[in-house]
């Protein structure tokens, strides 16, 4: 009975490990999705779908009604929108801005809303300015106050049908709400696929060998006890969907080469922005004729250089935050469980893993050369390690909910086993 309980406890601890690792993979997938602004892109795609598949047919119908022969009109009120054949016309870009971006004052120069140009370019910059989500109520308010809403109001008032405005806006709102369910499912599929991908990356990047983990837990009761002591915390983190720990620093606190490079790059961008301000406010620029072509070209170039520099700085901060979260996740996971590259096949410390004793380093080789020597001397051991790591990736692909369910079932079985053992009569 004791041996069976030890095996059961080993499987339980291994499942708890997979709960934590799957949670870490989901957390990293969430970081990647935030960095790529996939939620904002999904909202943008929904609004664009609404415009092309529902707004345009509405405008076509209104135009046809307005151009009725009895009316005698030769031009429809929405001809400009309907006749624009550009892939991303200004009317669409304005609709996306009105529905998905936070309001902001227009520049005093009178050059129009710069966000429209960003949406037309359809790059990461416009995604950064796009909200991640809006409620149905907020959508309805935004729709009515948008440029399209104003055009529809003017049209219906001009044709003596002001009551139709609310009817059409409500219909568009319901169509938007209907498309949200499909968008959520699409986003969930992308999130699951990313979680599976990051599960494999974690397995390989942190050297998580399922076979070795099972063996370690089975033969080391102290390791099992250590993981079981963290049970509540691991399950709580799985429920919240993120690992606990200190918040990731903006650029990290460790003086690694990557973080040092990021800090230096941000400092250079700050210096560049300062120099651009000095040039823009210099006597050469302020005292020159503002109408001259050279000054206008120079001002435009300075403005574009500032925008690019500011965008690069924001992007660098996002990447720095992502790197900090990645390092934090790796530190938490490797500290909790018997995994990491100090085990095998890196074997930074030979005593860290008995498998490192299978081969001795040749001529003091370290790093890749040492690894190649080990693989050449013990190919079977390396193959077993590779199978264990790939198996980890496959098991993590089952997802956090699956492993939480497994843990809950095993906890009940474990308790039944303990109760049965306690109920056995003690020997003489």
Q: Over the stretch 204-229, which tens digit does the pLDDT of each residue have? A: 888 888 988 998 899 889 999 999 99
Q: For residues 385 and 404, what is the distance between their CA atoms, to the nearest angstrom?
A: 26
Side-chain half-sphere CA neighbours of 286 within 13 A? 7
- pLDDT at position 182 is 82
* Distance, CA of 274 to CA of 268 (rounded, Å): 10
Distances (CA, A) of 256 to 202, 247, 325: 20, 18, 15
Confidence at residue 66, expressed as pLDDT on a 0 to 100 scale: 84
CA distance 214 to 106: 62
pLDDT of 150 above 90? yes
List, in sequence order, every residue forming a beta bridge with 101; answer none if it has no partner: 130
- Token duo for residue 270: 């700050």
Tokens read off for 305: 């250089």
> Sorting pLDDT into bands at 50, 70 and 90, what band is 426?
low
Q: What is the mean pLDDT of residues 370-375?
A: 58
Mean pLDDT estimate for the chain: 78
Q: How confident is the model at residue 2 (pLDDT cuts 50, 70, 90)?
A: low
**pLDDT band for position 13 (cuts 50, 70, 90):** very high
pLDDT for 250 equals 34
**DSSP one-letter string for 153-184:** HHHHHHTT-TTHHHHHHHHHHHHHHHHHHHHH
For residues 169 and 122, the model is more confident at: 169
Contacts of 388 (CB under 8 A, 6+ apart): 209, 210, 211, 212, 213
Query: What is the rounded distance in angstroms from the CA atom of residue 297 to the CA atom of residue 222?
Result: 71
Rounded (10°) angle between helices 257-280 and 293-336:
160
Burial of 337: CB neighbours in 10 Å, binned 0-12, 13-18, 19+: buried
pLDDT tops 80 at residue 277: no
The answer to whether residues 333 and 206 touch, using CB atoms and an 8 Å cutoff, is yes
Q: pLDDT band for 168, please (50, 70, 90 cuts).
A: very high
Q: Which class for 21: exposed (0-12), middle (13-18), buried (19 or more C-beta within 10 A)? A: buried
């Amino acid at each position: 009975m004791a041996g069976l309980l030890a095996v059961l406890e080993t499987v339980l601890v291994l499942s708890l490990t997979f709960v934590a690792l799957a949670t870490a993979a989901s957390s990293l997938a969430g970081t990647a999705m935030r960095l790529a602004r996939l939620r904002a892109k999904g909202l943008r795609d929904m609004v664009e779908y609404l415009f092309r598949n529902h707004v345009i047919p509405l405008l076509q119908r209104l135009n046809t009604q307005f151009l009725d022969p009895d009316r005698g009109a030769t031009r429809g009120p929405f001809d400009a929108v309907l006749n624009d054949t550009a892939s991303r016309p200004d009317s669409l870009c304005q609709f996306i801005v009105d529905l998905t971006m936070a309001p902001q004052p227009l520049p005093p120069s009178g050059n129009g809303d710069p966000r429209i140009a960003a949406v037309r370019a359809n790059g990461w910059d416009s995604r950064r300015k796009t909200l991640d989500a809006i409620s149905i109520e907020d959508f309805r308010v935004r729709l009515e106050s948008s440029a399209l809403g104003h055009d529809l109001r003017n049209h219906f008032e001009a044709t003596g049908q002001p009551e139709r405005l609310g009817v059409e806006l409500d219909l568009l709102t319901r169509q938007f709400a209907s498309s949200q369910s499909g968008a959520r499912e699409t986003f969930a599929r992308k999130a699951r696929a990313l979680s599976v991908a990051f599960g494999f990356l974690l397995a390989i990047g942190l050297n998580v060998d399922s076979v070795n983990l099972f063996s370690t837990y089975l033969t080391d009761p102290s390791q099992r006890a250590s993981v079981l002591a963290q049970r509540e915390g691991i399950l709580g983190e799985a429920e919240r969907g993120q690992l606990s720990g200190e918040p990731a620093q903006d650029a990290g606190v460790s003086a690694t080469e990557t973080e040092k490079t990021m800090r230096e790059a941000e400092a250079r961008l700050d210096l560049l922005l300062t120099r651009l301000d000095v040039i823009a406010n210099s006597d050469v620029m302020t005292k020159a004729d503002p109408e001259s072509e050279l000054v206008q070209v120079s001002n435009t170039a300075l403005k574009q250089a500032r925008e690019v520099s500011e965008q690069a700085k924001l992007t660098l901060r996002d990447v720095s935050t992502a790197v900090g979260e990645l390092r934090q996740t790796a530190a938490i996971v490797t500290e909790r469980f018997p995994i990491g590259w100090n085990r095998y096949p890196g074997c930074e410390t030979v005593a860290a893993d008995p498998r490192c004793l299978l081969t001795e380093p040749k001529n003091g080789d370290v790093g890749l050369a040492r690894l190649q020597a080990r693989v050449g001397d013990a190919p079977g051991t390396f193959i077993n390690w590779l199978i264990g790591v790939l198996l980890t990736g496959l098991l993590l692909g089952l997802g956090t909910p699956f492993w939480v369910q497994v843990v809950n079932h095993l906890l009940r079985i474990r308790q039944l086993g303990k109760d049965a053992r306690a109920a056995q009569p003690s020997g003489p």
